Amino acid sequence: MQAKIEKQKKDTAYASASLKYWNREASHKMGRNRITKGLSRSKSDAYSRALWALGKGRVQQEALYKAKQQFVTRDTAGEKFGTSRARGFRGGQGMAKKYEDLLAKQSQIESSIDNTFGRNMDVMNQKITRNYQNQMAKNRQALGVRPEYGMPVMMPPKDKAGQNWANLQLALSIAGMGAGFIGK
């Protein structure tokens, strides 16, 4: 009787743990979907920021090209042949310096755009990936381990031989009583 009670307790505890695990599993699946959406949004946001930086760079390049165009369209009539464009403009060395500044600014803009889509984008993607992995690990850890039933409850052994002898003895005593009634 004690073994049956123990088995019922064990079955009840296992069913309860299984239900709790099922609830955590449902939360785990919803969390996994939520984290994956966050990954997608983060990557999209990073790409949008990079495109925004590219747009700003292109606006700056447009202004730079307009400034460069002023050098090209200036009236250079009457200037000596064989001199560079930057030196040939009216203004001499000052104009050359302005042209060098424009080239430096163009180099800076192109470098910024290259970094935005190169190194900086890679760093951002690495950060996003690590955050995703950390969130997934926390979500999996919150799930916990599956419940196990464990070792079976041992029932006390039945004495089948002794029970058979008891049954045989009962049958013989009944037969003896029955023979006593028949013989009278």
- 123-173 pLDDT, tens digit per residue, is 999 999 999 999 999 999 999 999 988 888 787 777 777 778 888 888 888
Assigned domain for 167 exists: no
pLDDT (average), residues 11-37: 94
pLDDT at 4 over 90: no
How many separate domains does the chain show? 1
pLDDT at 115 over 90: no
Assigned domain for 149 exists: no
Give residues with Cβ within 8 angstroms of 3, minimum separation 6: 153, 154, 155, 156
Assigned domain for 24 exists: yes
Give residues with Cβ within 8 angstroms of 64, minimum separation 6: 102, 105, 106, 109
Give residues with Cβ within 8 angstroms of 38, minimum separation 6: 132, 135
Phi-psi region of 75 (alpha: psi -120 to 50; beta: other; left: phi over 0): beta
Among candidates 22, 32, 30, 42, which has minimal Cα distance to 135?
32
Assigned domain for 88 exists: yes
What's this model's pTM, rounded to 2 decimal places?
0.59
Assigned domain for 44 exists: yes
pLDDT at 31 over 90: yes
DSSP code for 74: S
- 45-98 pLDDT, tens digit per residue, is 999 999 998 888 889 888 888 887 876 665 444 455 455 555 555 555 666 787
Host domain of residue 24:
12-141
Assigned domain for 86 exists: yes
